[in-house]
Amino acid sequence: MEYQIKQISYYAENILERLMAGTVHSVYRRTINLTDGRQILSLQTDHSPLSPISLITGLTADGFGRLTVSPGDTVHFQKDGILISGDGKAPCASYRFTFKDPQHYDLKLSKALDAPSRLALIGSIREAVSKAQTGGFTILFKDCPCRLLDSDNESPAGTNTDGSLSLVLLAAKNDILRCNKLLLDRKYQEAALELLRLLGADHIRYPGERLALVSEVLERFGCVVAAKDAVTLVLGRKEDGTFVNTTGNDGMATAGSGDVLAGIIGGLLAQKMSCFEAACTGVFLHGKAGNKAAESCGKHGMTAMDLISRLPEVMKGETVWKEGRCRV
């Protein structure tokens, strides 16, 4: 029997391009969840609420109810459709769901959520998970034996150290691997946009609303944030206030400059400095070294190595990061 998939998200289509075989994970009145052990997609009845993993069919709830599909049934993901057959233990019907010019949709936020909206979303997710008594969410959150993927998400790269990862953690790890690959390929702008997406930040708002965006990231992750620009902002705990650094110049926008900053902050952390103080001291010394390099090499000729060579000079004497500090 053949049925049509009428709507599909770009996210789900991207997943389908990489899948070959899997099984039926779980069956509900309006949903059939499919998985390959790493990803999960949902065949759903017509007019179902849209989600990134939805494959909306033309079937009604009654039509779904007449399908003899069970958890464990074999699933073959093909270029033009999805074939569901039995588990091989007993004869059963086969069902084919085809893609014939489906409507595409792209679910994304038009703007960052405010604090009340984020709390409401978190509450809804927790309520849904707590009510999932049938195990429908188990594959997402329960640790299970699996193999990590290469950064191109195409081939196994070995088993992780603890031998297991939930699908949520595995997806997060693959996102980071993808960012790392972009950096190694020197696709810096794409890597930056990908990291902003993972943080839930909006790069379009960044120039005009930098302090607000940094505050949102700080609230969400409870970390110290150094937001680089002509004037760098460093935010930590509420009692730390905001450090506004004015050292540095536009000649520092050169390959490797950020790596130097990361190395300075890492060295200060190794000396038992707090995260906030290490970040503030790091951006201050980094900018000071940049100014010294510009004086001798010129802004257009300076390199990351010039920053490193000036660090001993700027770290002498009583130079401390508090010179550049103010609260806002």
CATH of the domain at 294: 3.40.1190.20
Residue at 241 is within a domain: yes
pLDDT at residue 207 in the model: 66
**Same-domain check for residues 69 and 130:** no
What is the value of pTM for the model shown? 0.48
Residue at 204 is within a domain: no
**Same-domain check for residues 124 and 80:** no
**Same-domain check for residues 128 and 217:** no
**Same-domain check for residues 17 and 122:** no
Contact 313, 268 (CB under 8 A): no
Residue at 176 is within a domain: no
Digits of tens for pLDDT over the chain (328 positions)? Answer: 889 999 998 888 888 888 888 999 888 888 999 988 778 899 999 988 888 888 999 998 888 888 888 888 999 998 888 999 876 555 567 899 998 888 887 776 666 777 788 787 777 777 666 665 555 555 566 665 544 344 444 443 334 444 456 666 777 778 888 888 888 888 877 887 777 777 666 666 666 777 777 887 787 778 899 988 888 889 988 888 888 899 999 999 888 899 999 999 999 999 999 999 999 999 999 999 999 999 999 999 899 999 999 999 888 754 454 544 433 3
pLDDT at residue 5 in the model: 92
**Count: domains in the chain:** 3
**Same-domain check for residues 137 and 220:** no
**Same-domain check for residues 136 and 233:** no
d(CA 17, CA 167): 18
**Same-domain check for residues 57 and 123:** no
CA distances from 160 to 44, 93, 181, 190 (A): 33, 39, 18, 27
**Same-domain check for residues 26 and 61:** yes
Domain boundary among 80, 105, 130: 105
74 CB-contact burial (10 Å; exposed 0-12 / middle 13-18 / buried 19+): middle
Q: Is the dihedral of CA 182, 186, 187, 189 positive or negative?
A: positive
pLDDT at residue 146 in the model: 45
Residue at 198 is within a domain: no
**Same-domain check for residues 100 and 138:** no
Residue at 123 is within a domain: yes
128 CB-contact burial (10 Å; exposed 0-12 / middle 13-18 / buried 19+): exposed
pLDDT at residue 249 in the model: 93
**Same-domain check for residues 33 and 56:** yes
d(CA 325, CA 138): 48
pLDDT at residue 177 in the model: 86
Residue with tokens 């926008």: 253
Residue at 248 is within a domain: yes
**Same-domain check for residues 84 and 16:** yes
Residue at 235 is within a domain: yes
d(CA 281, CA 323): 10
pLDDT at residue 157 in the model: 38
Range of the domain at 299: 211-324
**Same-domain check for residues 277 and 311:** yes
Those residues with Cβ within 8 angstroms of residue 92's Cβ, 6 or more apart along the chain or in another chain: 68, 73, 85, 86
Residue at 131 is within a domain: yes
Maximum Cα–Cα distance across the chain = 83
